[in-house]
Structures are given as C-alpha cells and as structure tokens.
C-alpha cells in the first residue's frame, strides 16, 4: 500500500510502500455498552504467527473519580505471579514504585466518570516474545491521563513469571466497569 | 492480512521551516502516529495543534529527565497549542500516537515520547477537548524553526 496524498506544506519527501506485512491487526473491541472487562482470547491460534503483541486502547470507567484504573492480566492468571515498576509524572513531581508478587501485569491509569465528558485515557502495551514457550513474559506500558485535574503520565514495566504461550489478555476496571466507547485493539508483530 | 500501519505522508525539510502542516487527513484509520526526527534553530517546545483550533482546549502532563534531575509539569486550559515535547539544537526524535483520532464520540488522547541527545528524555500525555475528528495537524515550535533535513512522518493505524 503506497502513500496516500494529503495536503501538506513545507517540503516534499519520499516514502516507500511496505513489501510484506509485519504489523497486523488481530482484533478490535469497541464497547457499545459498559462491561466489567475485555478479553482477547484464543491467542494460541489468532496470534500464533506473531512474535510480539501490541495493545492500543482508550478507556473510561465507571469509577466516581477523575482517575481510573485498568487491571491487565495474562492467561486469566490472577495469582501473585507478576512484578513491575512504574515511573510516574503527576504534574508537579516524578515518583517511582515497584511491586513483586503482584496479581496483575500492571494497573494502568485510566479515566473515571467524574472526568470531563468525552475524556478518555490512552494506553499502549507492548508484550515482547508473547508467543514464546521458554521465556517469562515482559511488557512495557505507556499510558497517561490529561483531564484538567489529576493528570498523570506513567511508564510501566510488567513481568509475568510464566513461560506459557499467551492464550489471553484481559483488561478490566479495578472494581469498576469499562464504559461505552472504550476501545481496545490488539496487533501482532512478526519477527 | 494487510499491514496495519500505513505511511500517509513523509516530509523532509529542504530548508528551515517554522511550521509543518498535515491537512486533509482521512478518517479511514483508528490511530495516527507522527514521528519527527531532526533539530531546531533554538531550543524550545514542540507545539501540536489540531484542526486549526487555537482555543483553550488542550491539556497535557509530562515527565522528563535531564540527566541531573527529573521533573513533571502539566498545563490545563492553555490558550496555546499542546506543548508536548522539546527539541534542541542537538538531534532529537519525537513519536506521537493520536488515539481514536477519527472518533466523534470522544476527546482526542495522545501519548508522546521525545528524546534529545545530550539534553533530555520526555514522556507526555495530552488531550484535545474536542469530539471532532482530526483532519489537520500543525507542528510548530515555540522558540525557533525546524532545520533543513528534519523529517516528519505520518502513519495511519488500521483497526
């Protein structure tokens, strides 16, 4: 697929069309009504051709605050089999935290239902070597909320101490529901 | 399956430019990715403005490290465009992801990582408080201009 003409100023450049697809959409879910969670399942089949996975999303939850949270788990594992670090910018200071033997890959930031109408939180999760059966699973999460109050930007690492091939990824509100309009797209990267 | 990241436009400056504009952006994709690589004539903020909106409709929060310190800042209801990155006269790169850019039921969220050799590394989240689909992006600089050779690449992400 080649360049699609857009109007632009300043100078001309050149771009090339890819000769083979390395980054492909696996599945997208857009919530038409509130849901407790969204799960990408059957990855042993749908993602078997890929080496790495990327999840891109925007989310808003039913919590009563401006802030929200999204709990990320792999293969339905809610046991104390995860670890991670967080680097957080809250608008006035930078902090860092870490956890071991945690029960989720990450608790990413979200937008709660007291935020301005229409505000959602965006996030990108990269899971490297997701389909390996010999490596624990590692992830990087970039997510942030800018809602005119209680803003934050997070860079998180996540570790699932399990060498099993991924079969599912779930994202859930932390005691809340994910609201209509929240969107979750899973991509595979070949390697 | 089709490649999910499609090159939409690639601009390499042949001379110094204060602004770069992508217009007539189709609503065909789910997300947009903008990648900038280059230098500027004077260190300062990168500004991103959507659809020509110069109103107080942008909010951002960022965290950055300079090598000797780390800090965070936020701007809410700014009357200027989204300041979401910093370039210096040293080579720098910035990657912006504009999520659900074509949706008309939500504000526009973006995530950005920016780094400038010898100066700093930044991560940033921003929101444009508009439910309009993004049809144009203007990239400008707060203090100077982008130098010749600086590249601006826009991609559409299928969903």
pLDDT tens digits, B140-151: 988 889 999 999
Output the six-digit token pair for B18: 């204060």
pTM for this structure?
A: 0.93
Q: Which are the contacts of A20, defined by CB distance < 8 A and separation ≥ 6? A: B3
Q: Which of left, alpha, beta for A146 (phi over 0: left; psi -120 to 50: alpha)?
A: beta
- A9 pLDDT above the threshold of 50: no
Q: Which residues 9-28 of A have a C-beta within 8 angstroms of B?
A: 9-18, 20-25, 28
Output the six-digit token pair for B20: 């770069």
Q: What is the pLDDT at residue B53?
A: 92
pLDDT band at residue A4 using 50, 70 and 90 as cut-offs: very low
pLDDT, tens digit (0-9, with 9 covering 90-100), for A39-60: 999 999 999 999 999 999 999 9
Mean pLDDT score, B99-114: 96
Q: Are B87 and B24 in contact (CB under 8 A)?
A: no
For residues A11 and B105, which has the higher predicted lDDT (pLDDT)?
B105
Rounded to 5°, the CA angle A73-A169-A51 comes to: 120
Q: How far apart are CA A142 and CA A144, in angstroms?
A: 7
Closest CA of chain B from A79, distance in Å: 30
pLDDT, tens digit (0-9, with 9 covering 90-100), for A12-22: 333 455 457 89
Q: What is the pLDDT at residue B88?
A: 75
Task: Name beta bridge partners: A141.
Answer: A125, A156
pLDDT band at residue B118 using 50, 70 and 90 as cut-offs: confident
Task: Name beta bridge partners: A8.
Answer: B22
Output the six-digit token pair for B34: 């903008």
Q: Are B16 and B40 in contact (CB under 8 A)?
A: no
CB atoms within 10 A of CB B78: 15
Q: What is the pLDDT at residue A5?
A: 35
Q: Which residues 89-128 of A have a C-beta within 8 angstroms of B?
A: 89-94, 116, 118-124
pLDDT, tens digit (0-9, with 9 covering 90-100), for B40-93: 998 888 899 999 998 889 999 999 999 999 999 998 765 444 556 677 778 899
> Which of A8, A57, A93 has its CB closest to that of B72?
A93
DSSP state for residue A147 in the 8-state scheme:
S
């Amino acid at each position: 697929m080649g360049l699609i003409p857009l109007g632009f100023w300043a100078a001309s450049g050149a771009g090339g069309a890819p000769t083979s697809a390395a980054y492909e959409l696996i599945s997208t879910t857009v919530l038409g009504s509130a849901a407790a969670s969204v799960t990408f399942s059957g990855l042993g089949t749908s993602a078997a051709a890929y080496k790495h996975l990327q999840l891109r999303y925007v989310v808003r939850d039913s919590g009563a605050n401006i802030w929200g949270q999204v709990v990320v788990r792999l293969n339905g594992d809610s046991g104390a089999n995860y670890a991670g670090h967080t680097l957080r910018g809250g608008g006035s200071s930078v902090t860092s935290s870490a956890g071991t033997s945690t029960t989720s890959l990450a608790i990413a930031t979200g937008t709660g239902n007291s935020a301005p109408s229409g505000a959602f939180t965006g996030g990108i999760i990269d899971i490297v070597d997701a389909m390996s059966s010999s490596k624990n699973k590692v992830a990087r999460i970039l997510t942030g909320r800018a809602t005119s109050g209680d803003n934050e930007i997070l860079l998180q690492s996540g570790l699932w101490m399990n060498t099993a091939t991924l079969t599912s990824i779930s994202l859930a509100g932390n005691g809340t529901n994910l609201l209509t309009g929240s969107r979750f797209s899973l991509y595979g990267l070949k390697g | 399956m089709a490649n999910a990241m499609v090159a939409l436009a690639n601009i390499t400056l042949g001379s110094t430019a204060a602004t770069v504009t992508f217009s007539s952006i189709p609503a065909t994709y789910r997300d947009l990715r903008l990648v900038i690589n280059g230098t500027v004539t004077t260190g300062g903020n990168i500004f991103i403005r959507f659809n020509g909106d110069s109103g107080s409709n942008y909010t951002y929060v960022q965290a950055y490290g300079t090598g000797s310190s780390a800090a965070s800042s936020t701007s809410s209801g700014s009357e200027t465009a989204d300041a979401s990155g910093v370039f210096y006269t040293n080579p720098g790169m910035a990657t912006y992801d504009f999520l659900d850019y074509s949706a008309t039921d939500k504000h526009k969220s973006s995530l950005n990582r920016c780094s400038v050799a010898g100066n700093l590394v930044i991560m940033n989240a921003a929101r444009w408080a508009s439910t309009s689909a993004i049809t144009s992006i203007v990239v400008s600089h707060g203090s100077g201009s982008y130098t010749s050779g600086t590249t601006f690449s826009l991609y559409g992400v299928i969903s």
